[in-house]
Amino acid sequence: MKKYILVLSFFLGMTATVAQEIPQHISYTRIYGFIDELANDGIIEINSVVKPYSRAFIAGKLREAATKTALLNRRQKSDLTFFLNDYALENDTLPQALLNWTNRQTASLALLQPAFHYRNNHFKARITPILGMHLLTNKKGMISKRWYGAEVQADIVNHVSIWGSIRDISLNGNRLKESQFPTLGERIAGAKITQPGFLNTLQGHQYKEANYGGDYSDSRGGIKAYTWWGSVGLQKDNIVWGDNNNGSNILSGRAPSFAMLTLNLKPVRWFELNYIHGWLVSNILDSARYYSEELPDGTVQHKYRQKNKFIAANMFTFTPVAKLNLSLGNAVIYAEDNVQAAYFIPIAFFKSIDHTMTKGLGIENQNSQVFFNFSSRNIKHLHLYTSIYIDEIQFSRFKPSNKQNNPISYKVGFNLSNFPLKNLSLTAEFTRSNIINYAHSIPVLEWSSNSYGMGHYLGDNAQEIYLAINYKPIRSLNINLAYTDATKYNTYDYLRSNILNIISQKPFNEKTWRNQIATLNVLYEVFNNVYAVIDVAWNNAKGYDLTAYQGIDGEHRLTAQEYLDAFSPKFYQGNNLTFTCGLSFNF
């Protein structure tokens, strides 16, 4: 018995200096931008290919920056102090706040920077309310978005973290103009500005019934066991894989959060492994699985269930020299009746496993992918990055004489911080995705969840140019001017009977839809977790008629208006100047 107590004591002692392993949601863009800025300036080192970061990781990087204040400018020092206060619990202190009650030892309650904190030697906890409203208005009327809820985070004896949050969110279209949305049904639909098929970067959701617009809830949470060299957990969250500033082309985090087992290992400075096994939402009924309900008239009605859908994915990151990260990984989408044990192997090449279980049996194999990410911050102030998503590849298709195109998506970009001017950053990205890159002949195996694509928001056969200037004149104030040119070209279904002809079509040929967006966004974090935002955005979304050329089997041949309706919410169709203002407590 003493032997086991010694082992347990050793483990707890080893983890005593590790802070809670709770993910910081990707919606807190200010802290992610600040961490990127510190890394670009050479003050800290990070691996930015996998997000979200944990709050412990962020707190550690903030502490590291605090030891190098001579390298920070005045605004960065102010931001650093501000962020350290928000991560006080991870640093074993209590935060300071206005209108604050505290016993200075174990607990504090703040009315501004609204939160309750508790800490002792064995337990830390944080409870924050969630409340906010945004008003969006343009020539088509007004949409109001409001949300409320709460978030709880806790850490037990410095080696187990548990957290959870609930947000109830609604989009109200009652103030949309009747001239644009004549019926109640059209106003309800018009308020749902994020839906499967719409090509925008807004977070995806599964709507409930509402007679005023879109209503939905978002519940996230998890539990993790951790030590200094890694963690294992069960969580429901949004994740992003692939360096980006305006939507990743690997895992973008836009689909609704889903449950997953996670594993992170970083035993040495030069290597890191990230792995997930997730339970996706197929939105496809399974005719063989149903409940039976007897109705009052004696008839029996079947209530069908969804088809199972799973994802397994890994990402290996190697750091051969400081500030240079080379990442590669692979994934599989599979839809068996039950989870497959082989896909729980975190270092597996899943396509090979898939072939072992399906090839030669006369059945369709699963959907596997490979991806790469390059990230360099070796030039001070400059972050260079590239990410590549490969659904399938044959090297013979790269020959000029071969008309077939590999279904590949790639993104290249850079972010330049504090050079040549302090507090100013420049970003440029270019993204292209080939024909049927994220598609599959079997709908349940597509790269999607809840019918939202998990890759780049534009989907297949599309390209995007993104340019941004970000200015931070004072602590907590972000002023961002951005331009996006998003274009969608011919769209195709994945037809096995005609697939070679489909991938032989010229990609990026005829436009079917284009949206140009210029945005001025001003975000000010008044106190920790209290935000004010003003946004002015011009956009011009257009659909295009295709030429008289007769399409091939599998190609969509729609009118300009049909393409526009398929890819843009009516609120943003055509030429618009949209104003957004809002205030929120916690995101």
- At 416-452, the pLDDT tens digits run 999 999 999 999 999 999 999 999 999 999 999 999 9
User: pTM for this one?
Assistant: 0.94
Tell me how far apart the alpha carbons of residues 304 and 286 are, in angstroms, rounded to a whole number.
6
User: What distances in angstroms separate CA 33 from CA 27, 39, 351, 480, 581, one per listed residue?
Assistant: 11, 10, 35, 12, 21
Instruction: State the residue for tokens 């209503």.
Output: 215
Q: Contact at 8 Å (CB) between 468 and 179?
A: no
pLDDT value for 14: 39
Tell me, yes or no, whether 70 lies in a domain: yes
pLDDT value for 3: 42
Tell me, yes or no, whether 549 lies in a domain: no
Chain length of the chain: 587
Tell me how far apart the alpha carbons of residues 501 and 430 are, in angstroms, rounded to a whole number.
27
Angle at CA of residue 46, ends 42 and 50, nearest 5°: 150
Tell me how far apart the alpha carbons of residues 376 and 119 are, in angstroms, rounded to a whole number.
39
Instruction: Show Cβ contacts of residue 333 under 8 Å, excluding neighbours closer than 6 positions.
Output: 280, 309, 310, 311, 366, 367, 368, 440, 445, 446, 447
pLDDT tens per residue, range 76-97? 999 999 999 999 999 999 998 8
Tell me, yes or no, whether 544 lies in a domain: no
Residue 424: strand, helix, or coil: strand
Q: Contact at 8 Å (CB) between 173 and 181?
A: yes
Tell me, yes or no, whether 442 lies in a domain: no
pLDDT value for 18: 53
Tell me, yes or no, whether 74 lies in a domain: yes
Tell me how far apart the alpha carbons of residues 569 and 202 are, in angstroms, rounded to a whole number.
11
Half-sphere exposure of 545 (CA within 13 A, CB side): 4
Categorise residue 552: left if φ over 0, alpha if ψ from -120 to 50, beta otherwise.
beta
pLDDT value for 271: 98
Q: Which of 191-200, 296-305, 455-464, 483-492 is least confident?
A: 296-305
The CA R_g of the chain, rounded to the nearest whole Å, is 25
Q: Can you tell me the mean pLDDT for 194-218? A: 93
Q: Residue 295 — very low, low, confident or very high, per pLDDT cuts 50/70/90?
A: confident
Measured distance between the N- and C-terminal CA atoms of the chain, rounded to whole angstroms: 47
Q: Residue 412 — very low, low, confident or very high, per pLDDT cuts 50/70/90?
A: very high
Q: Can you tell me the mean pLDDT for 386-409? A: 94
Q: Can you tell me the mean pLDDT for 500-509? A: 94
Q: Which residue has the higher pLDDT, 358 or 85?
A: 85
pLDDT tens per residue, range 150-171? 999 999 998 999 999 999 999 9
User: What distances in angstroms separate CA 547 from CA 247, 460, 486, 509, 511, one per listed residue?
Assistant: 31, 20, 21, 11, 10
pLDDT tens per residue, range 7-20? 333 333 333 445 67
Burial of 466 (0-12, 13-18, 19+ CB in 10 A): buried
Q: How many domains does the chain have?
A: 1
Q: Which of 286, 158, 167 is nearest to 231 (CA)?
A: 158
Tell me how far apart the alpha carbons of residues 433 and 460 are, in angstroms, rounded to a whole number.
5
* Structural domain boundaries enclosing 74: 17-93
Tell me how far apart the alpha carbons of residues 541 and 155 are, in angstroms, rounded to a whole number.
47
Residue 84 DSSP class: H
pLDDT value for 113: 85
Q: Residue 5 — very low, low, confident or very high, per pLDDT cuts 50/70/90?
A: very low
Tell me, yes or no, whether 87 lies in a domain: yes
Tell me, yes or no, whether 82 lies in a domain: yes
Tell me how far apart the alpha carbons of residues 586 and 132 are, in angstroms, rounded to a whole number.
8
Crossing angle of the two packed helices 29-40 and 55-66, in degrees rounded to 10: 40
- Residue 118, Cα to own-chain centre: how many angstroms? 30
Tell me how far apart the alpha carbons of residues 551 and 564 are, in angstroms, rounded to a whole number.
19
Q: Contact at 8 Å (CB) between 15 and 159?
A: yes
**Does residue 299 have a pLDDT over 80?**
yes
Tell me, yes or no, whether 28 lies in a domain: yes
Q: Can you tell me the mean pLDDT for 476-504? A: 96
**Does residue 2 have a pLDDT over 70?**
no
Residue 280 DSSP class: -
